[in-house]
Chains A and B, each alone.
Chain A
């Protein structure tokens, strides 16, 4: 279903750009692409780490990696995937498409935008420099005190962890500020805050979350750095510091961080479900409103990461209740998306396939998450492989699948070419199969008593069998990623040229040229509803005419 609305393409693809151009650009689209490239680079590295881990864990009592290497590898896998893959990938899409969706030509602060990208990127490079400086961080991505102190971890890795994450955090916060101002001040004429596309709405809420949550991490990192470099005593229990203070500060950031990684994903899915069902979202107000509820609640649940630290039943009960509650607005969104598909005309593109897979994978991840809010069950399963399974179901089945979904959806707008749908479907099935193979069995491993973060495990009945299945699944995911890379490569070389509106989209980015230049729009149509471009294409069916 091609739209009849075609605007001529102003100029050729990015390929005649020179390297200096990329280094100096302040264009939000180029910065968005650079974010995605950075995420890809780190994804390859952290993905290889994952394969190393699964190789080590394939059989019991393996000696492929010793504890020293393994502990660096699992730490770097987690830190990289969260701070230098998922955050930049989702920010990349936001920086690219939020201005376009609200009909703006750039973000509010283009130069700060470039600054944010580079400081995040340098943060990542600095973190990786630790390998050359005497050892990578090795105390896990949440780096608990007092293990993170100089008297227990004397390699410089954790200092690099602090500085690297401080830099990246600064970049992320300034992008948050930039996006807030952009969304509040640069919307197209007529577009009220109640009419912004859900991706933009999620981006707005998400940016507030970033601005509110990251300072807690930055404070903790600075305190740790003071402890390690100047022998302060914040977290050093040997000299009267408090081990749990670190956990409070970290999870006060860490739980909202989980939502920082999932709200933009919800935004992408919301757009994809609408367009490929050919329908408006079911319950816009609810989806938007519940997101605000989630954001607020997310600051009141952090102790669910600490139910086994002995804080007492009263504290635990409060945070158990809030954690169960936050599951409700999150869970109900699933039904909003199902309701969006209901009565529509569903096109099973690769983008849509990932969105549908997400519905089910995320339900599994959400349900296993609820298990942790039921405190006695948390006592049984926390810190075991059950957690590993749970968090990968939300991070991969939720966040990463949204990146794939968004990639297939927006690739035409970013490159002027269509990704190959056939290869995409092969990629999709390999990915879904590999993913479930890797992580579903880990629920059982956790229930059987396998703690997380172990470099090896004893040869108990069925431990090797399940771990081997998991490792094979990881390999399959690796193959899937290769198929994706080949697809991108092939498409960039000689993919099918895209029109400006290949999916019959609803929002303003599709109104722009097939491959937008420096400017996104000459002018934008008057915004009278949540689907301005739909109204423009189908004036007789326009939303603002039959308002219900």
Chain B
């Protein structure tokens, strides 16, 4: 299967752990600093344990015929082995408190910039101030601190873009918040990290971080309606879209299709990928998806309409004109 979004990714993921230690947000910077401290402490402890084990094994092996006198270790060591770990615990607890409050400070009534809702198995992004709704490819501004509000429409999902640091669950019946200050524009990859059903693996996540100008441009273009359809085939497709009840699940602004159970399709053609990044957004793939959704993404919450090829082509013509 095609995995197109890798083409759009930052190509700086070169070293093994760049995904996590790349710190593309200030939150990730804080977390990763603490993580590196921890890795040093852990490596030190592991080194001590392995070292002691090897030394003991070299020194105290059983030798045939040699009678030995068991020696025992002074109880003083016991105090040392409690003292050092306790000290480490205290240090790391203080660091934990500090980092935790920096990464996730109180919301204090601030309005969220974007509301993200997790659905089985896709993401909805709602920009309340601009009245923009989109799906799966989430545009966010770089260079300033924003607040995301996280909700779930069904089961528990989890927001995780490794480059940005922390996860946060999207819990049904609960409002969660996440602060984010993305350092530089780029395309970042993430995935739902709480098992959420058949297509948990197919619930990838793409964040497109943009400079302030590009971001504003994107918002205005998405706040307006798509251009009027002039192509005749696309016009047939528009009718079919409503007739085939696609509108029960999908919203297309400016039409009678108001569904909310599937991704918003108002500006579908402006997205680079489909199905949270599983396949590239082109006519060919759109047609395949509409004809055989359960083959492309088995378990996805869109039924097979047993549609004929021609109707599918007409709908595709319509959908791919929704810029």
Binding site for B on A (CB under 8 A): 60-61, 66-68, 71, 139-140, 144, 146-147, 152-153, 237-238, 240-244, 277-280, 282-283, 286, 308-310, 313, 316-317, 320-321, 324-325, 327-328, 331-332, 334-335, 338-339, 341-348, 356, 359-360, 363-364, 367-368, 370-371, 374-377, 379-380, 382-384, 444, 447-449, 451-462, 548
Contacts and interface: CB of A to CB of B under 8 A. Distances in A.
Contacts, number: 268
Given A313-B100, A344-B70, A449-B160, 11 more contacts: A71-B197, A147-B196, A308-B158, A316-B100, A320-B93, A327-B85, A332-B78, A356-B57, A376-B35, A458-B3, A459-B3
Interface in B152-180: 154-156, 158, 160, 162, 165-169, 171-174, 176-177
Contacts of B13: 460-461
Contacts of B228: none
Nearest to A329: B82
A447 B17 CA distance: 6
A364 B60 contact: no
Contacts of A243: 156, 171-174
Contacts of B191: 449, 451, 454
A152 B97 CA distance: 37
A240 B172 CA distance: 10
B39 to A, nearest CB: 9
B253 interface: no
Contact of B204 (A67, A453, A458): A458
Name the residue in A152, A240, A310 with the highest tally of chain B Cβ atoms < 10 Å from its Cβ.
Answer: A310
B8 interface: no
B125 interface: no
B194 interface: yes
B53 A332 contact: no
B34 interface: yes
Contact of B77 (A335, A345, A370, A448): A335
Interface string B18-60: 0111000000101110110010001001100110110011001
B93 A278 contact: no
B43 to A, nearest CB: 9
Contacts of A308: 158, 166-169
Contacts of B46: 360, 363-364, 367
A404 B52 CA distance: 24
Given A317-B100, A376-B30, A380-B35, A152 B17 contact: no
B256 interface: no
A178 to B, nearest CB: 34
B45 A317 contact: no
A320 B226 CA distance: 50
Interface of B: 1, 3, 5-6, 13, 16-17, 19-21, 28, 30-32, 34-35, 38, 42, 45-46, 49-50, 52-53, 56-57, 60-63, 68, 70-73, 75, 77-78, 81-82, 85-86, 89, 92-93, 95-97, 99-101, 103-104, 120, 150, 154-156, 158, 160, 162, 165-169, 171-174, 176-177, 189-202, 204, 277, 298-299
Contact of A327 (B19, B89, B192): B89
B163 to A, nearest CB: 8
Contacts of B49: 334, 338, 359-360, 363
Nearest to A448: B19
Contact of A317 (B35, B97, B196, B201): B97
A380 B31 contact: yes
A152 B38 contact: no
Given A67-B298, A144-B195, A332-B81, A360 B50 contact: yes
Nearest to B120: A152
Given A342-B60, A455-B201, A325 B89 contact: yes
B103 A67 contact: no
B100 A376 contact: yes
Given A152-B197, A334-B49, A359-B53, A146 B172 contact: yes
